[in-house]
Amino acid sequence: MLEPRAAVRIGEPSSHAVSRAVKVERVSACADRIAHIRLVSADGRPLPRWTPGSHIDVVCGETGLSRQYSLCGDPNERAAFEIAVLREPESRGGSSWVHANVKAGDVLRIRGPRNHFRFTGDAKKAVFIAGGIGITPVSAMAREAKARGIDYEIHYSGARRASMALVGELAALHGERLHVYVSEEGTRNDFAARFAQADADTHIYACGPARMLEALEASCAHWPGDALRVEHFASTKGVLDPSKEEAFEVELKDSGLVLTVRADQTVLDALQHANIDVQSDCREGLCGSCEVRVLKGRVDHRDMVLTRGEREANDRMMTCCSRACGGERLVIEL
């Protein structure tokens, strides 16, 4: 099971919300439309430690817009963070800003690292699945698996070989454990065949586009609930539709305060309206920063973070998107 993520209490600042300055040491192209960026400390102090699967929030320009990018370097290197940024054709502002503006010598503001896609390493074998730029967190996990002496394999899919980041680096580091599938070359990863037989001693870690992850989840439906751990690029749960929602109450255990969450509100909205400080970043159920513990009540999980087993445990929720089942009251640890 993934390690629990701590809730932020009233008046308690989150260390992940504090930004720091980093200097761009190098920007290079590691594939078509992908910039490989190496960031070092701006003040000479060591950067925070991080674990495979972690991401940082990069503040993009003066508007304060921030975007999350997975760390893809060596977790044991304290001197630098490395990210790979794909220039999206329909960018919401982050990747286009990075590609147009970031150059060696620049000073950027970042937050984190934070990890909600943690490589636990507690299974006998790890299977890593990546699609496109999803290779970034997976590459750090595979490096860790090799360092620990864990049995592992990497399956990396892309449209064109020229558009696939880090292929040469991965091949040099992992040799025959790396399997590459290129649509343009007529090769594909057959999830149904690969995962036909469930294995309680194997964990699967995957990151990539929604269509790939949906196919993978369907192929692993008969596996144990926590065998598959996934990180998504975007939410597939849709936006809040007040005409289809029910209002419900949330009780805060520590203060006894009871808040009404309207049909047109999220739990996060209601908490922040009541001046209760809960860290949040993506507001789409993707980043895990707004997680709180649930002590009572059934949760309608709409996030893209928790595993199937974690949802069934019903002891945590993402306040930016998840709701109560049937309009019942939720009691949360705040």
From first to last of the 334 residues of the chain, give the pLDDT tens digit. 233 333 333 333 344 457 899 999 999 999 999 999 999 999 988 899 999 999 999 998 877 788 889 999 999 998 999 999 999 877 667 889 999 999 999 999 999 998 989 999 999 999 999 999 999 999 999 999 999 999 999 999 999 999 999 999 999 999 999 999 999 999 999 999 999 999 999 999 999 999 999 999 999 999 998 999 999 877 666 578 889 999 999 999 999 999 999 999 999 999 999 999 888 877 888 888 899 999 999 999 999 888 888 899 999 999 999 999 998 999 999 9
CA–CA gap between residue 334 and residue 330 (Å, rounded) = 12
Final residue in a domain of this structure, among 72, 89, 114: 114
Pair 76, 173 in one domain: no
**Two structure tokens written together for 230:** 């996934």
Q: Could you tell me if residue 13 is inside a domain? A: no
50 neighbors 74 (Cβ within 8 angstroms): no
Q: Could you tell me if residue 10 is inside a domain? A: no
The CATH code of the domain that includes 92 is: 2.40.30.10
Amino acid identity for residue 32 in this structure: D
Residue with tokens 């992850």: 213
Domain that holds residue 173: 125-232
Residue 286 is predicted with a pLDDT of: 82
User: Please, which residues have CB within 8 angstroms of residue 62's CB and are 6 or more apart in sequence?
Assistant: none
Q: Could you tell me if residue 76 is inside a domain? A: yes
Pair 22, 50 in one domain: yes
Beta pairing class for 248-252 and 330-332:
parallel
Beta pairing class for 202-208 and 125-131:
parallel
Residue 5 is predicted with a pLDDT of: 33
**Two structure tokens written together for 84:** 């790979």
Residue 238 is predicted with a pLDDT of: 59
Q: Which residue from 68, 126, 73, 76 is spatially nearest to 92, judged by alpha carbons?
A: 68
DSSP state of 326: G
Residue 91 is predicted with a pLDDT of: 62
Pair 259, 226 in one domain: no
103 neighbors 131 (Cβ within 8 angstroms): no
Residue 2 is predicted with a pLDDT of: 32
DSSP state of 213: H
Pair 144, 222 in one domain: yes
Q: How does DSSP assign 44-69, residue by residue?
A: SSPPPP--TT-EEEEE-STT--EEEE
CA–CA gap between residue 8 and residue 75 (Å, rounded) = 26
Residue 65 is predicted with a pLDDT of: 80
Pair 30, 101 in one domain: yes
Q: Which helix (H) or strand (E) holds 94?
A: helix 94-101
User: Please, which residues have CB within 8 angstroms of residue 195's CB and are 6 or more apart in sequence?
Assistant: 204, 216, 219, 220, 223
The pTM score is 0.81
The CATH code of the domain that includes 227 is: 3.40.50.80
Note the helical H segments in 175-246.
191-194, 210-219
Q: Could you tell me if residue 43 is inside a domain? A: yes
The CATH code of the domain that includes 270 is: 3.10.20.30
Q: Could you tell me if residue 5 is inside a domain? A: no
Q: Could you tell me if residue 4 is inside a domain? A: no
Q: How does DSSP assign 113-176, residue by residue?
A: EE-SS-----SSEEEEEEEGGGHHHHHHHHHHHHHHT-EEEEEEEES-GGG-TTHHHHHHHHGG
For residue 152, the SS3 value is: strand
Phi, psi of 320 (to 5 degrees): -75, -15
Final residue in a domain of this structure, among 91, 114, 137: 114
Pair 145, 80 in one domain: no
Residues shown for the chain: 334
For residue 180, the SS3 value is: strand
CA–CA gap between residue 273 and residue 240 (Å, rounded) = 17
Residue with tokens 């709180």: 292
Final residue in a domain of this structure, among 232, 261, 284: 232
For residue 123, the SS3 value is: coil
Pair 246, 271 in one domain: yes
Pair 197, 175 in one domain: yes
Q: Could you tell me if residue 119 is inside a domain? A: no
Q: Could you tell me if residue 1 is inside a domain? A: no
- Structural domain total, the chain: 3
